[in-house]
Structure 1
């Protein structure tokens, strides 16, 4: 594969509402990001992806857009964004925005015009169907629960929403809609952003029969993903989107493309693919039977995790480039998910996890707070949650026969609010995020997990993340770790994830112990140079072949010729 500039980036995802509050209204903002650019630069970040900052009533925290060309006032003004783009560029940091084009807010002028005017052309901008005998057009369930159909008052019509009731889906079958969206995409690219993370893009094509599906829950409904996601014909829309927007710019595009089978990955990220890279959620959702049904818990072990990661890596490597992540705004905290025992969630397990994913083949993404080891919270009542998906899952769990206590447990494990709690800058009140009570309750451990403390501690998670980044970006095996092929090893080992990266005769062997016990690994070669180690061992050269990996150790070894150190 021809090397592209965006393959070498280190991308940091910011949830703006929770990153840093510059004007002390309890809500993070664009100026807050600008104020923290030095922090991001010192970490080694080269690109920032910012979750939606467009005008929105915030029913789904910005993923319900009421004006694509305006910013939501709580985040700031356009001049603030222009300043951020400019100052970030001075520090070698590019800006990527979220692109939400499956749906708008029901407060978007298009939708409002259609509600007020029966003859509005904007009716055809949305998916609107007649009901059947006083009932919705079909039995599909939205991702956030309940029917995908919402009745329009005093009519027999319903509008379609894959997600929340205030997020009506756009009708991509209408060419006029598509042209409006392409114009908007090009507006933002002309402004100087580096590209987009493209939200929920596989939902833009629906099965046009709109027939019922077999019910899969006690509510008598069926997941809309069965006939409302990645349907035949989507390729026409995605080719057109790419041709009329992204292909005109030297930009990066990261697709959120759930539901795409591996055999279709070439269409999405191949040489002429729709996107630069896409996220694969299979390993992120290994603890639940469905990413959108958290009460269907799945037990898993390290071999299960390895199989999912390496299948993903193998399939992506065949055709293109991946976007590697441990956390995002829709996932729970990685140390709380992948390290099952709370007593083992510490510096070693956090840094081991960070290194394990960082050196996979693909562009690494770090979600805010991951680099200091932020954890899940534990809420005591459903009233403490903000996330609409969590609230839906709580009630669905009980409808499926679980107790109130069990339902709350499921939500605490998987809630999207886990990753949305305000960032921990210091041990001051509200974690230094704001001087007033934040929009969402703080995780109570901010006094022991925060940036200020970790910047002072050379042995902190934060400072080890800086080392992780430095090794990939500018270390002696940088090219190999960035562009080299990946080869899984020790695939049947119950506790160790291991792989090799290879390029132009260079070979780096990467070991990650997912156990609280030591484990011996037999090294194939006699001489290795240590590139990364989260234990403070003194040796820089290893010449033994039976190496004892300590609990939650991360170890990167560069294969050397035997006579190199004679």
Structure 2
């Protein structure tokens, strides 16, 4: 396997608004990140994926960009950014920027001009259509509820926004738009950044003619995804981006690709290097969805989870590269979702989930606080939420009668994006050490027990366990390049797989239950002198026949 730095790396995602506030205004900032670089160096990560820090009116917490080449005032200045970049590089940490180019803010200069008149030079930078019979141009629904079209009084036409009405979609079929995007990307590369995480990049090409989307019984609007994901020109445009910008620098690129199939991922992240290095797929994140929509509080079936994860491991092997993640800024906390966040089992299940993911092939991503086993937050009322998606979904689903109010509150508590966005828990002081001011969103009250300062002081903490997993990936080539095989696919309690190289074999065993589960080692591991690489119960050896303890996990190498 060809060695490239991003295959060997471990990435840490920072959501700046919630990471560390250096100036006491209740909002995390760039200088706050710089203050914590030594913490990240100690953890051992190689790359920071930085969620957007560009100028933005913050309708969608920075994913609505009004100026791609300026820093949001709440976060600091360009000088602050350049200092953070330099200090990160001094510590051997690379910086990957969030690239949000499916849409801009409606306050971006391009859109301000575009909506002035039908003949404005910027008109075709966005997707404008006449209405049909006094209604929207088609039946597409926005990902943030409501129609995907907004009527603009100034020119009496509709513009497309697959997200908020303040996030109009760019028209990527216009070569001028692509030129402007590539110029901006090149500007950041020349500044010295190390790559891009590309937000909803699979949506930049829409189906010809923008046909109606399918409408399910529980939907008020049609689902645009068949016509707004993996469109007819998406690979053409990404290959052009690669030729114009990406291939000129030593970058890491990962595309957030909603609706991506394995076959499409093999194109996006092909090892031939013509498009991106890797993709984020969401198939495993959709296993606990409700009927026809995201919102539910049902638990994932372990056999289903194993089938999905294993498909992506085996079918991308030697064709494309995997990204590995449980958490990000759009997902609830994994220990509350796939693990067990009760005090007796929180750390054990957090370590088990980390073992399960980090021993697979691909580049692992850690979301801030995941390395501490941070949990979902106890939001009590709708007023506790800040996320536009959760708030809009509550009103739409309850007012339409799809879900009653108590059930919908239960669902957004469980699946809402704000679970990932509560402040990072640094210590047991005021506001978890995040801010001397009033935080922009509630601090999880369990910060007294769950915080970085406490975990750094303890060798058996979740932090120290993540640190060990990161070291293992750098030491054991088999973790990076070995083949993957799933064992016990039908087990409701155990996730067991092997990794194999020419010289070694690795057995990974993870129990997803609090129950004791008997397990017999495969024959080849019984007969060999197996080395315990990692164990969340600190075992030095594993018996041939073992009864696994609650949420036990270990990795054995022969």
Whether contact under 8 Å (1:522, 1:547) holds in the other structure is: yes
Structure 2 SS opposite 1:211: coil
1:244-283 equivalence runs, <5 A: 244-272=244-272, 273-283=274-284
Which position in structure 2 is the counterpart of 1:545? 544
- Partner Cα separation in structure 2 for residue 133 and residue 358 of structure 1: 53
Shift of 1:228: 1.4
1:57-72 equivalence runs, <5 A: 57-72=57-72
Whether contact under 8 Å (1:486, 1:502) holds in the other structure is: yes
Deviations 1:469-504 (A, max 9, x none): 122223xxx111122121212222221111111222
Which position in structure 1 is the counterpart of 2:457? 456
TM-score (normalizing by structure 1): 0.94
Structure 2 SS opposite 1:531: strand
Which position in structure 1 is the counterpart of 2:83? 83
Deviations 1:113-168 (A, max 9, x none): 12334431111000001112221111110111111110111433011001111000
User: Quick one: structure 1 residues 311 and 72, their matched pair in 2 at CA, closer, same or farther if it must change by over 3 Å?
Assistant: same
Shift of 1:215: 2.5
Whether contact under 8 Å (1:162, 1:168) holds in the other structure is: yes
Whether contact under 8 Å (2:286, 2:294) holds in the other structure is: no
Residue ranges of structure 1 left out of the alignment (5+ in a row): 560-566
Shift of 1:264: 2.1
Which position in structure 2 is the counterpart of 1:185? 185
Whether contact under 8 Å (1:57, 1:66) holds in the other structure is: yes
1:419-430 equivalence runs, <5 A: 419-430=420-431
TM-score (normalizing by structure 2): 0.96
Which position in structure 1 is the counterpart of 2:512? 514
1:435 paired with 2:433, answer no
- Partner Cα separation in structure 2 for residue 118 and residue 70 of structure 1: 28
1:35-114 equivalence runs, <5 A: 35-114=35-114
- Partner Cα separation in structure 2 for residue 486 and residue 232 of structure 1: 33
Which position in structure 2 is the counterpart of 1:562? none
- Partner Cα separation in structure 1 for residue 21 and residue 110 of structure 2: 32
Say which of 531, 534, 538 aligns to 1:536.
538
1:314-329 equivalence runs, <5 A: 314-329=314-329
Shift of 1:226: 2.3
- Partner Cα separation in structure 2 for residue 138 and residue 484 of structure 1: 48
Structure 1 SS opposite 2:315: helix
Shift of 1:339: 2.2
Higher mean Cα deviation, 524-533 or 70-79? 524-533
Deviations 1:329-378 (A, max 9, x none): 00000011002674664211111111111111001100000010110012
Residue ranges of structure 2 left out of the alignment (5+ in a row): none
Shift of 1:217: 4.8
Structure 1 SS opposite 2:286: coil
Shift of 1:198: 0.5
Shift of 1:443: 1.0
Deviations 1:68-88 (A, max 9, x none): 111101111111111111111
- Partner Cα separation in structure 1 for residue 238 and residue 282 of structure 2: 20
Root mean square deviation, CA, Å = 1.6
Whether contact under 8 Å (2:335, 2:341) holds in the other structure is: no
Structure 1 SS opposite 2:52: coil
1:210 paired with 2:210, answer yes
1:499-510 equivalence runs, <5 A: 499-510=497-508
Structure 2 SS opposite 1:411: helix
- Partner Cα separation in structure 2 for residue 138 and residue 345 of structure 1: 49
Structure 2 SS opposite 1:317: coil
Whether contact under 8 Å (2:329, 2:417) holds in the other structure is: yes
- Partner Cα separation in structure 1 for residue 297 and residue 288 of structure 2: 6
Deviations 1:495-517 (A, max 9, x none): 11111112221111111111212
1:110-125 equivalence runs, <5 A: 110-125=110-125
Which position in structure 2 is the counterpart of 1:564? none
Shift of 1:530: 0.9
Higher mean Cα deviation, 404-413 or 127-136? 127-136
User: Quick one: structure 1 residues 472 and 220, their matched pair in 2 at CA, closer, same or farther if it must change by over 3 Å?
Assistant: closer
Whether contact under 8 Å (1:144, 1:392) holds in the other structure is: yes
Structure 1 SS opposite 2:238: helix
- Partner Cα separation in structure 2 for residue 219 and residue 269 of structure 1: 33
- Partner Cα separation in structure 2 for residue 457 and residue 67 of structure 1: 44
1:294-443 equivalence runs, <5 A: 294-295=294-295, 299-339=299-339, 342=342, 345-398=345-398, 399-443=400-444
Whether contact under 8 Å (2:117, 2:154) holds in the other structure is: no
Equivalent pairs, count:
552
Higher mean Cα deviation, 107-116 or 159-168? 107-116
- Partner Cα separation in structure 2 for residue 447 and residue 80 of structure 1: 31
Shift of 1:420: 0.4
